[in-house]
Amino acid sequence: MRLDRKLLLIAPAIVLACVVAGMVYTAVELHVLARSSDTLTARKEFVDAVARGEKTLDQRQAIGILQVALDVEAKRSAAIAASRDLLIELSAVALVAWAVLAYGIRGVPREHWPRFGGGRAPDAARVERT
């Protein structure tokens, strides 16, 4: 069974549209990840106050802050790596879809290509010029 020529053009175009949507989603997620937290300045001010000696921290609180900071850093690193891997996979899928689309376009006979002569047949245009 031979594949329909239109399928060779439509399917990769749909895949490319999905790839673009995936890349936009990844870019938005990376933007959200890179955006600083609303409470970052408040937390920095608290740590600066502890460093200046204006506030005190016991050992349990200091360990808790360090554990949270390490956990956040681990999650952020994992999210960045996952986004990078997703972009690599989407790029590979886009390359394959582009190759199939190029193959499908090359398979379309020339008589089906669009004509830009204003709707006139090519033979009629040649006859008028001579």
Tokens of 126: 């040649």
Q: Tell me what pLDDT residue 36 has.
A: 61
5 or 23: which leads in pLDDT: 23
> What does the DSSP assignment read for the chain?
-PPPHHHHHHHHHHHHHHHHHHHHHHHHHHHHHHSPPTTHHHHHHHHHHHHHTSS---HHHHHHHHHHHHHHHHHHHHHHHHHHHHHHHHHHHHHHHHHHHHHHHHTS-GGGS---STT--HHHHHHHH-
Distance of CA 41 to the CA centre of its chain: 31
Q: Which of 4-13, 42-51, 78-87, 98-107 has the lowest mean pLDDT?
A: 4-13
* More confident: 95 or 38: 95
User: Residues 60-95: pLDDT tens digits?
Assistant: 988 988 898 888 888 888 888 998 999 999 999 999
> Does the predicted TM-score (pTM) go above 0.75?
no
